[in-house]
Amino acid sequence: VEEGIEMLRSVLPDTTIIVVLNIIDRKGQHPSEVLGITSTYTVFAHLDVASTAMSSYCTCLSFAYAVLVSENRLG
């Protein structure tokens, strides 16, 4: 999970990450770990954060490219 938070810090401001983690903690949600071909990734699903357009986040490079770089949004 620590590695996932560090990856979040590379694309989101600390204030947004703190809000997201508080929401996850308050709702009792836990990040999931997904085994990929080359690594294990952390998935933050169902984020209810009004201050961002993202409702989910994954630490994999595919997510970073498909959603963050191309400016697509998952809802």
**pLDDT at res. 71:** 59
For 6, the token pair is 């560090």
Which residues, given as ranges, of the chain have pLDDT below 50? 75
Task: Give CA–CA dist 25/7, Å, rounded.
Answer: 19
pLDDT tens, position by position, 37-56: 888 888 877 666 555 566 77
**pLDDT at res. 1:** 64
**pLDDT at res. 36:** 80
Phi, psi angles (nearest 5°) of residue 33? -110, 135
**pLDDT at res. 23:** 66
48-51: long-range pairs with CB below 8 Å, 24+:
48/23, 49/16, 49/19, 49/20, 49/23, 51/16, 51/19
